[in-house]
Structure 1
Amino acid sequence: MKTIVLKFGGTILGDMTLRERAGQIVQKYYMDGYCPIVVVSAMGRLGDPYSTDTLLKLVTEIHPKINLRELDMLLSCGEVISSVIFHATLSNYGLSSIALTGAQAGIITDRNFGKANVLRINVDNILKSINNKMIPIISGFQGITEEGDITTLGRGTSDYTACLLGSKLGSEQIVIYKDVDGLMSADPKIVTSAKTIEHINYEDVFQMAEFGAKVIHPLAVETAMKAGIPLLIKNIMKEDVFTLIDNQEVNKIITAVTCMPDRVQYIINTSNENDKEIINEVFNKLADAGISIDLINIFPDKKIFTIEAKYAETATAILNQSTLNYVTVENLVKVSIIGNRMRGVPGIMAKIIKAFSEHNIEILQTSDSHNSISCLVKKDDYKNAMILLHNIFSV
């Protein structure tokens, strides 16, 4: 049995012309001898009747804080509606299909409502549908607990659903259809010279997702990488324009430039001996509050770290409970270059420092790994920083 997973995003399903195009694509794969497994997102964006954000607004306008269990029940409806709408679309092409919720598709999760962890997948229902000559259309983004409660896997996880199913079924490919030309070397709204990345390996694209690129969910990449299944990101209207993601080495030192806005930097004075014990306690409290520390530099007399701005109020409250002296710097952005082949290549950081210095861009903090280098800069400088990085490394 030759399976292929085809995932269609919300903007595609919310547009009649694009939805019909999606139906034609499924038909072609079916006629070519594949068993297509379709995964769908909720239709449209905020303001559209059945989008996730519209459903969320519908209930939060009544009460600002809804139990996560009940919220998951509501938010899962968007994808279910999409699955039935697409079932009707495939009927127009003479294709038999069956709409399945995440629960009916066998996705079993824990009880971490709003961001549930997948425990296991039972694909018996999917295989039964295929054996009955029906194309399964699965609602992405959702699962079910052992106790029968509906859960969601976190925002933007329909791609993750597609990769989970492709991995479990041993599919030949996982194809993510969008209304953009695959992965871009940078955000084209900022870097006008950005271009489509034709080929990239799992590790680099995983880093891109982790460092701010929003085209595909990091869990989706990680799942496909572990299974070793090629992952394609295609433009719904341009079959020949896509990004291929696999485990093959790419002959390029720098693959992409990314950014993560809304960073806040904390500079903590730890010159006193007693401060070292207090700072350890503060870090434990930050972790207990679910605050992930991003960049961090440790010196004998101070500790410097950054977090997302949305956690700054909580972090500041924790620090104010201590006797530590600290200052904060707001309105910062982390810009990064990604490239698996930069490992062991000398002079890359020197080139960045020189270029930023010549253009009066102050670097407030840095970090690096074998396939990434990040610089923390002021919000007013980040666009120029991204353009510079894209140009000097000919990304």
Structure 2
Amino acid sequence: MKLRGDINVLLLGDPGTAKSQLLKFVEKVSPIAIYTSGKGSSAAGLTASVQRDAQSREFYLEGGAMVLGDGGVVCIDEFDKMRDEDRVAIHEAMEQQTISIAKAGITTILNARTSVLAAANPIFGRYDDMKSAGDNIDFQTTILSRFDMIFIVKDEHDTEKDRTMARHVIGIHMNRDREPRDVAGEIPIDKMKRYITYCKTRCAPTLSQEAAERLSSHFVSIRKQVHKSELDSNERSSIPITVRQLEAIIRITESLAKLTLSSVATEAHVEEAIRLFMASTMNAVSQGSTLSEDVLKQAGKIEDELRKRLPIGWTTSVATLRKEMVTRREYTVAALDRALQVMSRREAIQFKNQGAQIVRIGV
């Protein structure tokens, strides 16, 4: 039985969060890489097309991005701008790693053993915290289940982070004509390419018994967790957790073992793989979907009420709000926490004293 060993990753998030830059960097450091944009990519351009020779008038196959990227990585930017029928064309390539062709009397199967790194924007342009993951993501579950890791990338406002980013961008523009300086600890790109190739060709780790048991127990627990969330919210998760996700964690575990040139994938590799999976796909699953519709409605009412009652510059404690909203008004704690979280993201309030107090700072 042939098993897929390549990892597919989806970056979904706000504009201006350097998703395209990351794709370009991966294209630069990967030994074999193809970069394409979803807006200008057709099904034939991604898989394979049948062409006719001008002289002999015979048909021949011309490989697309997934075929040309065999053994490497295909970076697809603007993944959300692709037509649905074009996205469906890469289903087989993403899971079975082959492309079946039956056109113009040519019947064959092409290899497409490639990783897919895709970047996309949410439906509304920016990720809306008040909506569930399913409302923000305009992809079918069939394509989402083929991604091993789904990262939600948000443009969260942080003064220190913004200042550092501004310094970096201004520095690039000021020094664009100068030779780039060597940064301490930076690995040269050529060296990284050779190391990646060495890891892929020389290392084939196997799971230890302890690692296999840890993977099995974790998969059962996350399936149970997602099932409970679906019962609480009375709707199916838009990002399915199936056996494919168990295989995804196994692939991540084996990749971490390859990275350290280990012949055995240990429990430590499994723990790191689980951490990455929880920080990506499971975090995406839980975005808004763990709360019932009733709690989300309550959170919206609390937010409207706080905007009316708290003038800009006013400070109050979270304990006081909890006493007022939960004890007296009989809202749930989850609804209050959700409302405060959303207002903080939208810069309407700011937390102080380790989250014990809030200050109204904007509209």
TM class by smaller structure: 0.3 to 0.5
Structure holding more strand per residue: 1
Bigger radius of gyration, 1 or 2?
2
> Which one has more relative contact order, counting CA pairs under 8 Å at least 6 apart?
2
Could you state the TM-score of these two structures normalised by the residue count of structure 2? 0.32
